[in-house]
Structure 1
Amino acid sequence: MAGRRAVDRPPVWAAARRPYAVLALVAVCFTVVQLVFTARIGLGWDESVYLSQVARGVPAAEFTAPRARGVQLLAAPVALLTPSVTAIRWYLSMLSGIALFLAYAPWIRLRPGSLAPLAAALFAGLWLSVLYGNEAMPNMWLAYCAVAGVGLACLADRRPASGLATAGVVAAFALASLLRPSDATWLAAPLLAYGIVRRRARLFAAVAAGLVIGWAQWMGEALVRFGGPMARLRAAGAENATGLHFSLPDHLRALNGPLLCRFGVECGGFPPAQIAWFAAVPVVAGLGVWAARRRSLLAAAACGLSLAFVYLFTVGYAAPRFLLPAYALLALPAAAGVVWLCRRRGTAVLAVAGVACYFALQARSVVVHGGQIQAARAVNPAVAARLQQLGMRPPCFLYGHDAVQIAYLARCAAHGVFRHYGGRSSVPSSIRAALRRGEWVGVITASRRPPAPFLTSWTAVELRLDGGTRRYVFLPPGH
């Protein structure tokens, strides 16, 4: 009998760890897909702002009221050594794969079996996840914190309570609040309400402690740089167009791009295939909650919907990345719904076909949108190279269209604008300050026609780029 038990142990050991192995495989595949399809994409505006705060040799770009410091902390280990976009992309790709594994791993203890790996695959397979997985932007990293935080909170709520899980809750929501304090608070709201109603003081304290860490940093910076917390909140609200809104139509149009439905960007029509999976997510997730009847899946759905509500009803514009934390959490009950459907002969084929179509659609979107974004951002390194040929050297200051991204590559200070170049009666104050400091100054535009009156006396120089793309730099008189 002893020999029999010794023989039986390895299969039991392997079965217990198989979900972790499958989840690790999903994470590795996720990293590989990023390295293949998105690691060569250049920096966006927001990324350039975040990275410039810590990147070696790069002047810090203007850090506005809505932003928080979590992203630069994540990127700092590499950015402090080198500002190389390629190095940062590779580092974030690998970190993203590790974060995906760590985020969904607690759910294997909550729901042993295939649910956590399938949920991770559903989320990682989303074209937005592949695109933003290695970007220095807060939303994807907030998604990982949300999944890990809710899972650990459910583990910490078990009896006997786990001290390690409780510490993990604090850590997850601390990082989430350092990334985006307001989003972290909305994600945590259902957990805080549960802690109050069910008198789970330990759980409530752990979630609240994590939130306090990020909010304390945000409020401290508000006092030092923005005139106090209320002034910073008002400035952040004005910049993000917060208030009572109904932006669901904009979010539906943005499912197929562009990455930002604002500042005059044409959002396009309503893509039927993308809307189909978007509509299926809450339906299948609801089915999963009903079928499993597990408190943990209900918590995941509640926290995901809490954040989705904020962006659909209180923000006056759309960007598809805003809903990434909601997708990451809803993937868990959705996976439970898919598993339930697959266990029934009449619905198994439908479920498998639906998941296959979902992955096929997302793969096509990654190729199409990834290629478009890579081509659009490839203009910026070319502009930076042409400006250096014109004699631009640090210290320098760039103003205008894509100025923040180009300035990061050229190691310049910058002030970016979308459409309004200012200077209706005089030269903008940031340009005047740079001229007083004796810096090389250039105003970048997409048109030879001066976009502001102060540029009529400046010299326009065409920057010849490959592919017929045109950019212009306006140089000050006597430059």
Structure 2
Amino acid sequence: MTDLAVATLDPPRPARESRRWHVVLGLVALGYTGFQLLVTLRIGLGWDESVYVSQVARGVPPADFSAPRARGVPLIVAPVAYFTASVTAIRVYLSVLSGAGLFLAYLPWLRLRNTFAVPLAAGLFATLWTTLFYANEAMPNLYVAYGGVAATGLYFLAGRAALAGLGGAFALISLVRPTDALWLAAPLAVAALLRRAWSRAAVLATGLAIGWGAWIVEAYVAYGGPLARLSAAGSINQTGLTFSLLPHLEALDGPLLCRFGTICGSPQPAHVIWFAALPVLAAAGVWATRRTDLLMALLCGLCLAAGYLFTVGYAAPRFLLPAYALLALPAAAALARLATWRVARPLGAVAIAAALVAFVVVQAGTFRLRAEATASSRAKDEAVTSWLTARGLRMPCLVYGHHAVEIGYLIRCASRGVMTNYGGDKVPLVIEKALRAGARVVVLVNRKSMPARYLIGWNKSRIRLPDGHTWYAYQPATGTIK
């Protein structure tokens, strides 16, 4: 196997063949971006996205930024959101950025393995329904995936540029998801220390320090210190020693979050098959190629997966995206080796092609269902926003309750989202403060029954949505929306 500190590159090849796989990787990235612009461009912002983007979007009051979140995603969207809060502009920007990210993430691996396996790995990752869905979403997991793939490849390349790229990749990861950065760094740091690759160890530490430093500073400023913030984050994210494989199997075909009363159902066989096959193929790829770089990709991917399987008590399909992106590299190497194995040709190549087609069909079918359901759900936010705007709701204002964060972003109001607990007899403090400040307040509910006793005496309006559902808007007797 290659040395852990410095890569042994494949033998020199003709320039035309060298460029070929760069072009193929570029085409994969272009197709990936093109798909987003054609299919997912018009899907509105979700709750988490609205929180992240509102921190930097021009003219939008920042939504409550809870303890588990980190500032990396707002930094990523800032170049566009600072100038416009337009959802379409943000989607276009993120579509282009994600295509560039896919290309740049797998590019270092073409220096390590200048073969078809690299663009195949990018293609496998890019055709996952979860990857396609989150490709132009303002969420952290995909950028952890890009950073993880790039960092693992750059670790094995020599030179100052590779070291700088390694540090930059870890700075990105630690800014968007500090805990994921630790799980990813663990195998790389152990390898660096064992081989006494001090420069690599120092670069890893520097990259981690950037994101964790920002997180710790904010902890002192806004959350009562790092320990208090960790405690609050753990309470929100249900962290602790656990084993959540079954919830993750149930989440493979969605919905987007198996929590807060959302039942993801039983595991679907087609998804369980590819999920189980991925680590097996990845291990086979390491065994067949005897490559240390692919072994490291396997170890880093498994570590990232372990972080969610053993320390988070619920599941969401996006959590394992970084693990999939890394495991795709040795898995693609295994597929490439099988396709060219003389003993198995030509039936082996046909079988692999058939398996890949089946994989894409399963992913495409699930993507269609999830994209349609999400687009329909988020279209309700736009309909409610139009209803409220037509009835004069404008700044200063507070939207409280069901989908309040998403609607608050669209209407440019302060917001506080509520899942089920609207309060009891007493008016929530955030509403009381808004009323004292002279802001218009609306409480949104998606059920007919009154969710809290303090709303008795408030005026209740019906919001009939295009899909036939009805939401309700409560406002104090003064400043009523009619």
Question: What TM-score does the superposition give when structure 1 sets the normalisation length?
Answer: 0.95
Is 1:172 the equivalent of 2:173?
A: no
Query: What are the Cα deviations for residues 190-235 of structure 1, in whole angstroms up to 9, with x where unaligned?
Result: 0011111221111111111100110111101111111111111111
Which aligned pairs between 1:164-313 and structure 2 lie closer than 5 A? 164-313=161-310
| Residue identity opposite 1:478 in structure 2 | T
Measure, in 1, the Cα distance between the counterparts of 2:368 and 2:261. Answer: 25
Mapped pair 1:370 → 2:371: yes
Structure 1, residues 152-174: CA drift from partner, whole Å, max 9, x if none?
Answer: 0111xxxxx31110011000000
AA aligned to 2:381 is N
Alpha-carbon offset, residue 12 of structure 1: 2.6
* Corresponding residue number in structure 1 for 2:146: 144
SS, match of residue 425 in structure 1? coil
Specify the code of the residue in structure 2 equivalent to 1:100: L
Unmatched 5+ residue regions in structure 2?
1-12
What are the superposed Cα offsets for residues 442-461 of structure 1, whole Å, 9 maximum, x if unpaired?
00000121111111221110
Do the aligned residues in 1 keep the contact of 2:425 with 2:452 (CA within 8 Å)?
A: no
- Compute the displacement of 1:248 (Å): 0.9
Select which of 87, 90, 94 maps to 1:88.
90
Any conservation in 2 of the 1:288–1:336 contact (CA below 8 Å)? yes
One-letter amino acid of the structure 2 residue matched with residue 33 of structure 1: F
| SS at structure 2 position matched to 1:204 | helix
User: Which residue does 1:357 correspond to in 2?
Assistant: 358
* Aligned-partner SS, 2:109: helix
Q: Is the 8 A contact 2:28 2:119 kept in 1?
A: yes
Displacement after TM superposition at 1:362 (Å): 1.1
The equivalent residue for 1:78 is 80
- Structure 1 spans left out of the alignment, 5+ residues: 1-10, 156-160
CA distance in 1, matches of 2:18, 2:310: 43
Name the aligned partner's letter for residue 365 of structure 2.
R
For 2:460 and 2:395, the matched residues in 1 are separated by 21
Aligned length: 463
Contact 1:222 1:229 survives alignment (8 Å): yes
Other structure's SS at 1:457 match: coil
Is the aligned partner of 1:394 residue 2:395?
A: yes
In the aligned structure 1, how far is the partner of 2:143 from the partner of 2:18? 28
Kindly provide the CA deviation profile for residues 73-128 of structure 1, in whole angstroms up to 9, marking residues without a partner as x.
Answer: 11011101110001100110000000000000000001111111000000001111
2:441 is the alignment partner of 1:441: yes
Q: Partner letter of residue 197 of structure 1? A: L
SS state at 1:189 partner? helix
**Structure 1 CA distance for aligned equivalents of residues 177 and 467 of structure 2:** 39
Q: Distance in 1 between matches of 2:139 and 2:285?
A: 30
Q: 1:111, 1:12 → 2: CA distance?
A: 14
In the aligned structure 2, how far is the partner of 1:365 from the partner of 1:263?
A: 22
Aligned counterparts of 1:274 and 1:417: Cα–Cα separation in 2: 32
- Whether the 8 Å contact between 1:37 and 1:366 is mirrored in structure 2 is no
1:44 aligned partner: 46
Q: CA deviation at 1:350?
A: 2.0
For 2:16, the equivalent position in structure 1 comes to 14
CA distance in structure 2 between the aligned counterparts of 1:363 and 1:317, rounded to whole angstroms: 25
**Equivalent residue letter for 1:243:** G
Structure 2 partner of 1:319: 316
Contact 1:446 1:472 survives alignment (8 Å): yes
Computed over aligned residues only, the root mean square deviation of the Cα atoms, in angstroms, reads 1.0
Deviation at 1:477, TM superposition (A): 2.7
Matched residue, 2:466: 466
User: What is the distance in 1 between the residues matched to 2:281 and 2:37?
Assistant: 31
